[in-house]
Amino acid sequence: MAEIEFTSKIQNYKIVPKKKILIRIGSLRHGGAEKVLVTFLKNLSPDQYEIDLLLNLYSGKYLSEVPEWINIIYLNKGEMITTNRIQDIPEKIARVVYQKFLKKFPGVLYRGKLKNKKYDIEFAAIHGMRDEILNSPLTSSKKVVWIHNDLSQVKGYTDEEIRKFFGFDKIMVISEKIEQLFHSLAKNDSEKEKIVKIYNPLDTGEILTKSEEPVKEYNFENTIPTFVSVGTVFPQKGFDRLLQAHKRLLNEGLLHRVLIIGDGYDFDNIKRLKTELGIDKTATMLGFSDNPYPYFKNADFYILSSRYEGFPTVLFEAITLKKKIIATEVSGVQEMLNNGELGLIIENSEEGIYSGMKKALLQPETFLNYTEVLNDYKMPFNLENSVDKITSVLDDL
């Protein structure tokens, strides 16, 4: 009798095949979207998914963190070329031509690099991979995109361009403002149902643990207030505005220091500006750090000077470390800072940055209330919830 019951259970048991997923992103350099993607991948089960991660460029600080069971494929290999040195131009051109060729003739990519593999889901991990995924020759696969920026603020993204994202089966957005943008452009309920808001998965425990490590390559001075800012050095991040505001305050006799952590194609331009402004002694650019959290912890203020964002995950890190925060009013900031309860939200301009820093220097006591609220604040989103929501999107397709 027991044997019959056991046999029956075996017959009723169904093995669910792994979902085959292709994920596309440019590289795994030191950006917020890249970090979030790798954090997500580290929390997936190899028993449920079979993942190919296709990079345009096999490069970046987060490569080593990708789980071994994930298959990495790439179009080009080597470091990102951010200069126009004569010796670099041939390789730079070759990379661009090759990528444009595969974008125009995706069948070559799928027959060659991807070996005619059939995927259940094709996933654009950043908005810049929209056309590559939507033009896939695999008509039967479900298409997903992850939007990390407020595209209404990104050059070239008209309403017509943004509407092309409705070609995806699911549009994952990371903040209320981006969600509202897509809802405003949706033409019917079917399109609205494609939009799903999911906060970025970030590991609070890892942030707290890493913040305890010693500071390297920088000396904090207890008597001089320090403003720290972390991010990829792109024009989007507004580091030029931060340095201009810093210079104005120094001219008024308000001594303080600015520390910028990050790298990117605009690094040399910002470094040059720093020298031109004559502030090399008070403003420091450390470049990329795989652990910026000790700098967060030891600085007096965290400042976000961005021109636009989607949902600035760096503020999640600053909140986790209970920092006094000053942030320009870009997408996600009101939501992240609980409408100004957790930090000072300033006008999105150089003048706003200048005014916010000046208030911090002349009226530091006004930030005590933020600190008190942060000490009792419980984050409304966490790593587990975010990963669960993303996997539920993938599993339901």
Q: How confident is the model at residue 363 (pLDDT cuts 50, 70, 90)?
A: very high
Q: Give the chain's mean pLDDT.
A: 90
**In this structure, are residues 216 and 246 in contact, taking their beta carbons and an 8 Å threshold?**
no
Q: How many C-beta atoms lie closer than 10 Å to residue 308's C-beta?
A: 20
CA distances from 286 to 129, 135, 233, 236, 301 (A): 30, 40, 11, 19, 17
Does 26 fall in a domain? yes
Does 8 fall in a domain? no
DSSP string computed for 43-105: TS-TTTEEEEEEEEEE--TTGGGS-TTSEEEEEEES----S--GGGHHHHHHHHHHHHHHHH-
Task: Express each pLDDT in 222-268 by its tens digit.
Answer: 899 999 999 989 899 999 999 999 999 999 999 999 999 998 889 99
Looking at the structure, do residues 122 and 221 belong to the same domain, yes or no?
A: no
**Phi, then psi, of 153 in degrees rounded to 5:** -105, 0
Does 1 fall in a domain? no
| The predicted structure's pLDDT at residue 10 | 47
pTM over 0.85: no
Q: In terms of residue numbers, what domain contains 157?
A: 13-199+383-396
> Residue 161 corresponds to which tokens in the numbers above?
């361009």
Beta bridge partners of 328: 346
Question: Which ranges of 169-276 does DSSP label H, i.e. alpha helix?
Answer: 176-185, 189-192, 204-211, 239-251, 267-276
CA distance 124 to 200: 15
Q: How confident is the model at residue 6 (pLDDT cuts 50, 70, 90)?
A: very low
How far is C-alpha 150 from the geometric centre of its chain's CA atoms? 12
The CATH code of the domain that includes 278 is 3.40.50.2000
Looking at the structure, do residues 241 and 283 belong to the same domain, yes or no?
A: yes
Q: Has residue 11 got a pLDDT over 60? A: no
| The predicted structure's pLDDT at residue 248 | 98
Instruction: Give the position of tokens 């003739």.
Output: 105
Looking at the structure, do residues 361 and 390 belong to the same domain, yes or no?
A: no
Looking at the structure, do residues 187 and 234 belong to the same domain, yes or no?
A: no
**In this structure, are residues 357 and 249 in contact, taking their beta carbons and an 8 Å threshold?**
yes
**In total, how many domains does the chain have?**
2
Looking at the structure, do residues 172 and 56 belong to the same domain, yes or no?
A: yes
Looking at the structure, do residues 151 and 228 belong to the same domain, yes or no?
A: no
| The predicted structure's pLDDT at residue 92 | 78
Beta bridge partners of 73: 54
Task: Express each pLDDT in 69-102 by its tens digit.
Answer: 999 999 988 776 666 677 667 887 888 888 999 9
Looking at the structure, do residues 170 and 291 belong to the same domain, yes or no?
A: no
Does 53 fall in a domain? yes
Looking at the structure, do residues 156 and 58 belong to the same domain, yes or no?
A: yes
Regarding predicted confidence, which is higher, 382 or 132? Answer: 132
| The predicted structure's pLDDT at residue 31 | 74
> Residue 271 corresponds to which tokens in the numbers above?
């470094």
Looking at the structure, do residues 347 and 215 belong to the same domain, yes or no?
A: yes
CA distance 301 to 96: 40
Q: How confident is the model at residue 131 (pLDDT cuts 50, 70, 90)?
A: very high
Q: Has residue 389 got a pLDDT over 60? A: yes
Residues 6+ apart with CB under 8 A from 188: none
